[in-house]
C-alpha cells in the first residue's frame, strides 16, 4: 500500500496562528492517522491554514486566509491584541524519495481598533509573511514566491482544494452539483483539472508570439488590414501623380515668366538704345537725370541702412559713460559698502556646530547670533559687488546723428530738384511713348520676378510634399511586404493553436470519462449496487437505478458524491479530512472507511469523538488526542 | 545670463519681430514683394540691417526707460504684465551687454529717487534697500519676466502719436520725397532715440554727477 513516490506528510506543526499551538506527527510507516479533537479546537483551522499555505504564494498571502465562510479571516491570535506576534506553521512531507519542510511565518499584531464602519475590529495588521522550503535537510533552500512554484510543480497546490477535505468544501460541491446557476464553478474546476499544463503553456507561448507579431506590425495582419495598406499605397500614388502634375505646371509657369523677363529685358535695352541713339537733347538729359536720381537713391538707402544697422550701438556710444562709473564709485564710498568675502565668513560662523566665531573661535550666544544674522543683511553678494565695481559696457564709436541727418536731408532736397527737373522735360510724343513703354516694361518685369518668386515657393512646397509622400509610400510598401511574410507565420500559429485545442479537447473528453468512471465505481462501492455517478463537461450527478438527477441520494448520498469527486480530482494521493463523517448515515460509514483505506496511501482524519463508531474503529489505527498549548482539548 | 528663451513682449513688438523674420526668409529665397513701387521706395527692406532679431526688443526696452524715467515694478505686479503684455517670442541669444548697461541706468535712476548714502541716514537701512534693489534687477529671471515686458510695453504706448515700435515697423520701406517722409524714416527714429537718451542723461545722470 505504501508507495515512496507518493506524497506523504510526516508532521504539521502550528504555533500561534489563531491562538492554536499543536503538532500533529504522522508515523510514515502507517497509512491511517486519526486525531480526535473536540469541537472548536482547531480542526478546521488546520485544513484552512494548509489551503492558505498551498494556494497563496508569499506575496499574495496577506488578506487571503478564509475561515468558515469568513473571507478574509484573521490569522493572528486575537487573545493578545496589540502585542507583537510571530506565528508559524511548519509542514513536513516527502515525495519521490525527497524530504521537504515547508514553513510560513507571519509577523504582526491583532488590532482591536474599529474598522471604517465602526462595527468590527480592524483585525490583523501584518508586517511580514515569509515562506521557506527546505529540501533534504537543507540541501536546497528556497524562499519567497519560488516556494509556491515548487509546490505547484509537486502538484500539491493545484490539488489543495481536493485532498484537504472538510464540511465546507463538501457543501460547496453539493451546491455546485445541485444548483444550475452554480454548476459553472464545477465546470471551471473540471476544465482546470483536465487540461494538460504543458499544452496550455504551449498555447500561451503561441499567443505571446502572436501578440509580439501584432505589436511589431501595429496591426493584426488581417486580409482587411493588408487591403487597407494597399488602398493607402494606391491613394498615395494618386497624390504623387497629381502633385507631379502640379509641379510640372509650376515649372512651366516659371519658364514662361523667365522667357518674358528675358524678352522684356531685351525690349528695355532696345528702348534705352533707341533713347540714346535718338540723339535727342531732352532724352539725353532725361537719361542723365535718371542716372543721377538712382545714384542719390542708392546713397540715401546706404545712409539709412547704416542708421538701422547702428541704431542699437547708439545706446552704448555717444555718451561719456565715465560719469556713471564715477556715480557708482560715489555710492561705494559714501555707503562704505562691505567687502564681499564677509558673507562666506558669516555663513561659516552661523553654520558651525555650535555656532562660533571663525576668527577668534568664541562660541556665539543667541544675542551674538542675532547680531551676525543682521550683519548678513548688510552684505552684498559677489554678483552685486562685481556689478558695482564693473565698468559700464560701451563702445568708442561716435555717431554724429546731427550731421547724418543733415546729409540725408540735403540728398533728399537734391533728389526732389532732380525729380522736378525730370518732370519738366519736354519730350516728343514718340519719346514719351518710348519712356512710358520702358517704365511699364520695368514695372511688369518686376511683377514677373515677383511671380517667379511665388512659383518657386510653391515649387519647393510641392517638391517637399512629393518627397514626403514617396517616403510614406516606401514605408507602406515595406509594411505590406512584412505583412505578407508575417501572415504566413500567423497562419501557421493559428494552425498550431487549433491542433493544440483539438488535442486538449480530446484529452479533456478522455480524462472526464476516466474521472467519471472512477467516480461511478467509488460511489457504487460506498453507497451500494443501485447507485452510480456521472461526470460530464457541465454536470456532476448521482444516479440511482440508472436515473441521474440533482435530487437523487439525500444528504448522505450527496456527501459521498462530494467525497468521490474530490478524490477523483486530486493529483496527490493523501487525504486530510476534517470531521470526516458528519451527516453520513451509519450504514455507509464503514464502506466509506474501507474505501478510503483502499484508495489512499495516507489518510489523516481530524475527528470528533462521535465519529469513531462504524468509521474509525474498522481502520483500527492508533488514535491520538491533540493538545492546544498546555490545555488538553480532548482526551480519548 | 544665458539665452533669453521665450519672453513676453507687446503684440506690436512681436509683429515687428515676425515681420523682420519673414523678410529675412524672403531675402534668403530671393522673393520680392509684388505690390511694390520700385521708383518710390528702396528695393529691399531696411529692417534687414538689424544684426539680430532681438535688437528691436533691446531698443524698445531703452526707449521705455528713457521715456518714462520710472523704476521697474516689484515682483507682485507680474500679474499686471500677464494681462497687459499679450505677445511672446523665443530668442536663442543673450543680451548680457545691454542688460548691464540697462541696469547701470536703473541704478542711477534709483539713486536719483533715493539719494546717495548720507552720513545722517541710517546707513544699515539704506544698504539693505540698495542691495535688495540690485539683487532684484540683477536676477535673470526678474529681468526676463518683469523688466523686459514692463519697459517694452512703455515703448509701445503713445498718446499723441504713433508709437516708436509701430513707426519702426514702417521704416522698412521709406520714400525719398519730403512730403512722403513720415516720422517713420530711420533718420527720424534715430534722432528721436538720441533725444530721449539725452533727456534721460540730463535729468538723471548729469544731475547725479553734480551732487
Answer whether A322 touches B (CB < 8 Å).
Answer: no
Q: What are φ and ψ of residue B164, in 5° steps?
A: -60, -45
B104, A323: Cβ pair inside 8 Å? no
Q: What's the confidence (pLDDT) of residue A511?
A: 82
Contact A108, A17 (CB under 8 A): no
A319, B176: Cβ pair inside 8 Å? no
Cα–chain-centroid distance for residue B187? 18
| Alpha-carbon distance B128 to nearest alpha carbon in chain A (angstroms) | 6
Q: 3-state class of A629 per DSSP? A: coil
Provide the ipTM: 0.92
Residue A631 pLDDT grade (very low, low, confident, very high; cuts 50, 70, 90): very low
Measured distance CA(A494)–CA(A591) in Å, rounded: 51
Contact A448, A257 (CB under 8 A): yes
pLDDT digits (tens, 9 = 90+) for A184-240: 788 788 877 777 777 888 888 999 998 888 888 776 667 787 888 899 999 999 999
Residue A163 has pLDDT above 60, yes or no: yes
Chain B partners within 8 Å of A319 (Cβ): 197, 201
| Alpha-carbon distance B196 to nearest alpha carbon in chain A (angstroms) | 11
A454, B193: Cβ pair inside 8 Å? no
Measured distance CA(A544)–CA(A557) in Å, rounded: 10
DSSP characters for A492-521?
HHHHHHHHHHHHHHHHHHHHHHHHHHHHHH
Per-residue cell: A102: 515547508
B190, A323: Cβ pair inside 8 Å? no
List the beta strands (DSSP E) in A503-567.
531-536, 539-544, 547-549
Q: What does the buried/exposed string (b/e) look like for B82-91 if buried means 16 or more CB atoms within 10 Å of the residue's CB? A: eeebebebeb
- Phi/psi region, residue B60 (left: phi>0; alpha: psi -120 to 50; beta: rest), is alpha
- Using DSSP bridges, classify how beta strands A164-165 and A575-578 pair: parallel, antiparallel or unpaired: parallel
Answer whether A395 touches B (CB < 8 Å).
Answer: no
Q: How many CB pairs under 8 A join A and B?
A: 177
Q: What is the mean pLDDT of residues A159-173?
A: 87
- Which of A442-451, A485-494, A516-525 shows the lowest per-residue confidence on average (mean pLDDT)? A442-451
Residue-wise pLDDT tens for chain B (211 aa)? 678 899 999 999 999 999 999 888 888 776 666 566 666 777 788 999 999 999 999 999 999 999 999 999 876 555 577 777 889 999 999 899 899 999 999 999 999 999 888 766 677 788 888 888 998 999 899 999 999 999 999 888 766 678 899 899 888 888 888 776 778 889 999 989 999 999 999 999 999 888 7
CA distance to A242, B73, B102, B137, B205, per residue, from B147 (Å): 53, 8, 10, 8, 20
A312, B118: Cβ pair inside 8 Å? no
Cα–chain-centroid distance for residue A305? 61
Q: Between vectors from CA A373 to CA A371 and to CA A375, what angle results, nearest 5°?
A: 70
Measured distance CA(A196)–CA(A189) in Å, rounded: 13
- Give chain A's mean pLDDT: 85
Cα–chain-centroid distance for residue A422? 82
Within a 10 A sphere around the Cβ of A262, how many other Cβ atoms? 11
Answer whether A587 touches B (CB < 8 Å).
Answer: no
Chain A partners within 8 Å of B187 (Cβ): 303-304, 307, 401, 404-405, 408-409
Scan for cell 517722409, then name that residue.
B181
| Alpha-carbon distance B144 to nearest alpha carbon in chain A (angstroms) | 17
- Which of A605-609, A626-630, B5-9, B121-125 shows the lowest per-residue confidence on average (mean pLDDT)? A626-630
Measured distance CA(A211)–CA(A203) in Å, rounded: 12
Residue A636 pLDDT grade (very low, low, confident, very high; cuts 50, 70, 90): very low
Contact A41, A625 (CB under 8 A): no
Contact A188, A538 (CB under 8 A): no
- Which of A58-72, A108-122, A607-621, B131-145 shows the lowest per-residue confidence on average (mean pLDDT)? A607-621
pLDDT digits (tens, 9 = 90+) for A417-464: 998 888 888 777 887 788 888 888 888 888 888 888 888 888 989 999
CA distance to A255, A402, B64, B106, per residue, from B200 (Å): 58, 18, 11, 11
Contact A11, A91 (CB under 8 A): yes
Residue A1 pLDDT grade (very low, low, confident, very high; cuts 50, 70, 90): very low
Contact A412, A304 (CB under 8 A): no
Q: Which residues pair with A123 in a beta bridge?
A: A111
pLDDT digits (tens, 9 = 90+) for A239-259: 999 999 999 999 999 999 999
- Phi/psi region, residue A627 (left: phi>0; alpha: psi -120 to 50; beta: rest), is beta
* DSSP assignment letter at B77: G
Chain B partners within 8 Å of A456 (Cβ): 29-31
Listed residue (A340, A339, A318) closest to A392, CA to CA: A318
| Alpha-carbon distance A331 to nearest alpha carbon in chain B (angstroms) | 6
Q: Between vectors from CA A61 to CA A60 and to CA A64, what angle results, nearest 5°?
A: 105
- Please name the residues in contact with A21: beta carbons below 8 A apart, sequence gap of 6 or more: A14, A15, A628, A629
Answer whether A239 touches B (CB < 8 Å).
Answer: no
User: Which is more confidently placed, A11 or A540?
Assistant: A11
Q: What's the confidence (pLDDT) of residue A271?
A: 87
Q: What's the confidence (pLDDT) of residue B119?
A: 65
Given A309, A314, A328, which is nearest B49 (Cβ)? A309
Residue A118 pLDDT grade (very low, low, confident, very high; cuts 50, 70, 90): low
Residue A11 has pLDDT above 70, yes or no: yes
Chain A partners within 8 Å of B123 (Cβ): 335-336
B34, A450: Cβ pair inside 8 Å? yes
Q: What's the confidence (pLDDT) of residue A635?
A: 28
Within a 10 A sphere around the Cβ of A495, how many other Cβ atoms? 10
H/E element, A294: helix A281-315
Q: What's the confidence (pLDDT) of residue A626?
A: 62
The overall longest dimension of chain A from CA atoms, in Å, is: 150
Chain A partners within 8 Å of B103 (Cβ): 387
CA distance to B21, B71, B124, per residue, from A336 (Å): 49, 24, 10
Chain B partners within 8 Å of A380 (Cβ): 127, 131, 134-135
Within a 10 A sphere around the Cβ of A580, how many other Cβ atoms? 28
Residue A55 has pLDDT above 50, yes or no: yes
H/E element, B67: helix B55-68
B31, A457: Cβ pair inside 8 Å? yes
Closest-approach residue (CA) in chain A for B96:
A393
Amino acid at each position: 500500500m505504501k508507495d515512496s513516490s507518493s506524497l506523504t506528510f510526516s508532521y504539521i506543526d502550528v504555533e500561534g496562528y489563531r491562538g492554536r499551538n499543536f503538532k500533529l506527527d504522522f508515523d510514515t510507516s502507517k497509512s491511517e492517522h486519526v486525531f480526535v479533537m473536540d469541537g472548536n479546537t482547531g480542526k478546521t483551522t488546520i485544513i484552512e491554514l494548509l489551503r492558505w499555505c498551498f494556494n497563496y504564494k508569499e506575496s499574495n498571502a496577506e488578506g487571503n486566509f478564509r475561515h468558515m465562510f469568513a473571507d478574509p479571516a484573521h490569522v493572528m491570535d486575537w487573545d493578545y491584541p496589540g502585542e507583537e506576534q510571530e506565528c508559524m506553521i511548519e509542514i513536513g512531507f516527502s515525495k519521490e524519495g525527497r524530504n521537504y519542510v515547508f514553513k510560513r511565518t507571519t509577523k504582526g499584531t491583532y488590532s482591536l481598533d474599529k474598522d471604517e464602519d465602526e462595527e468590527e475590529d480592524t483585525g490583523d495588521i501584518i508586517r511580514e509573511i515569509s515562506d521557506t522550503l527546505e529540501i533534504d535537510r537543507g540541501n536546497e533552500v528556497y524562499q519567497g514566491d519560488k516556494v509556491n512554484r515548487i509546490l505547484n510543480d509537486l502538484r500539491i497546490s493545484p490539488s489543495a482544494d481536493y485532498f484537504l477535505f472538510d464540511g465546507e468544501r463538501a457543501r460547496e460541491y453539493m451546491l455546485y452539483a445541485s444548483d444550475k446557476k452554480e454548476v459553472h464553478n464545477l465546470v471551471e474546476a473540471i476544465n482546470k483539472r483536465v487540461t494538460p499544463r504543458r499544452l496550455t503553456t504551449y498555447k500561451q507561448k503561441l499567443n505571446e508570439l502572436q501578440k509580439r507579431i501584432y505589436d511589431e506590425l501595429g496591426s493584426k495582419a488581417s486580409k482587411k488590414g493588408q487591403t487597407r495598406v494597399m488602398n493607402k499605397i494606391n491613394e498615395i500614388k494618386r497624390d504623387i501623380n497629381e502633385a507631379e502634375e502640379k509641379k510640372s505646371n509650376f515649372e512651366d509657369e516659371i519658364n514662361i515668366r523667365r522667357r518674358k523677363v528675358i524678352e522684356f529685358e531685351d525690349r528695355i535695352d532696345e528702348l534705352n538704345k533707341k533713347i540714346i541713339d535718338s540723339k535727342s537733347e531732352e532724352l539725353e538729359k532725361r537719361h542723365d537725370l535718371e542716372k543721377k536720381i538712382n545714384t542719390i537713391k542708392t546713397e540715401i538707402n546706404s545712409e539709412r541702412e547704416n542708421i538701422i544697422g547702428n541704431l542699437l550701438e547708439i545706446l552704448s556710444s555717444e555718451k561719456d559713460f565715465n560719469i556713471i562709473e564715477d556715480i557708482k564709485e560715489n555710492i561705494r564710498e559714501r555707503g562704505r559698502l562691505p567687502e564681499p568675502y564677509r558673507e562666506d565668513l558669516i555663513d561659516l560662523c552661523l553654520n558651525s556646530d555650535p555656532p562660533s566665531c571663525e576668527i577668534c573661535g568664541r562660541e556665539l550666544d543667541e544675542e551674538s547670533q542675532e547680531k551676525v544674522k543682521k550683519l548678513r543683511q548688510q552684505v552684498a553678494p559677489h554678483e552685486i559687488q562685481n556689478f558695482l565695481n564693473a565698468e559700464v559696457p560701451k563702445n568708442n564709436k561716435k555717431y554724429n546723428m546731427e550731421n547724418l541727418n543733415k546729409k540725408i536731408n540735403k540728398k533728399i532736397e537734391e533728389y526732389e530738384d532732380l525729380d522736378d527737373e525730370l518732370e519738366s522735360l519736354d519730350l516728343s510724343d514718340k519719346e514719351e511713348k518710348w519712356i512710358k513703354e520702358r517704365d511699364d516694361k520695368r514695372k511688369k518685369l518686376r511683377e514677373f520676378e515677383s511671380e517667379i518668386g511665388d512659383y518657386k515657393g510653391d515649387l519647393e512646397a510641392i517638391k517637399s510634399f512629393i518627397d514626403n509622400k514617396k517616403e510614406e509610400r516606401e514605408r507602406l510598401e515595406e509594411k505590406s511586404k512584412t505583412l505578407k511574410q508575417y501572415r504566413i507565420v500567423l497562419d501557421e500559429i493559428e494552425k498550431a493553436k487549433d491542433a493544440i485545442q483539438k488535442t486538449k479537447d480530446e484529452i479533456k473528453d478522455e480524462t472526464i470519462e476516466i474521472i467519471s468512471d472512477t467516480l461511478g465505481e467509488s460511489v457504487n462501492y460506498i453507497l451500494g449496487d443501485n447507485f452510480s455517478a456521472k461526470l460530464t463537461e457541465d454536470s456532476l450527478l448521482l444516479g440511482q437505478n440508472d436515473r441521474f438527477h440533482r435530487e437523487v441520494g439525500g444528504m448522505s448520498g450527496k456527501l459521498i458524491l462530494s467525497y468521490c469527486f474530490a478524490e477523483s480530482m486530486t493529483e496527490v494521493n493523501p487525504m486530510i479530512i476534517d470531521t470526516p463523517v458528519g451527516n453520513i448515515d451509519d450504514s455507509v460509514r464503514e464502506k466509506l472507511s474501507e474505501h478510503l483505506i483502499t484508495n489512499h496511501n495516507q489518510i489523516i482524519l481530524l475527528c470528533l469523538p462521535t465519529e469513531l463508531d462504524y468509521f474509525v474503529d474498522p481502520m483500527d489505527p492508533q488514535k491520538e488526542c491533540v493538545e492546544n498549548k498546555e490545555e488538553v482539548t480532548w482526551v480519548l | 545670463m544665458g539665452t533669453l528663451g521665450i519672453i513676453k513682449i507687446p503684440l506690436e513688438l512681436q509683429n515687428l519681430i515676425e515681420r523682420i523674420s519673414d523678410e529675412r526668409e524672403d531675402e534668403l529665397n530671393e522673393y520680392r514683394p509684388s505690390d511694390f513701387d520700385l521708383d518710390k521706395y528702396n528695393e529691399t527692406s531696411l529692417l534687414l540691417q538689424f544684426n539680430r532679431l532681438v535688437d528691436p526688443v533691446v531698443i524698445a526696452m531703452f526707449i521705455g526707460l528713457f521715456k518714462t524715467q520710472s523704476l521697474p515694478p516689484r515682483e507682485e505686479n507680474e500679474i499686471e504684465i500677464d494681462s497687459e503684455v499679450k505677445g511672446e517670442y523665443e530668442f536663442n541669444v543673450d543680451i548680457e551687454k545691454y542688460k548691464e548697461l540697462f541696469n547701470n541706468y536703473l541704478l542711477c535712476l534709483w539713486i536719483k529717487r533715493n539719494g546717495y548714502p548720507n552720513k545722517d541716514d541710517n546707513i544699515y537701512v539704506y544698504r539693505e534697500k540698495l542691495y535688495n534693489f540690485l539683487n532684484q534687477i540683477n536676477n535673470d529671471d526678474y529681468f526676463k519676466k518683469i523688466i523686459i515686458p514692463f519697459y517694452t510695453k512703455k515703448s509701445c504706448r503713445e498718446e499723441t502719436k504713433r508709437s516708436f515700435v509701430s513707426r519702426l515697423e514702417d521704416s522698412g520701406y521709406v520714400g525719398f520725397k519730403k512730403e512722403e517722409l513720415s516720422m517713420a524714416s530711420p533718420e527720424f527714429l534715430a534722432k528721436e532715440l538720441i533725444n530721449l537718451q539725452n533727456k534721460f542723461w540730463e535729468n538723471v545722470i548729469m544731475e547725479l554727477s553734480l551732487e
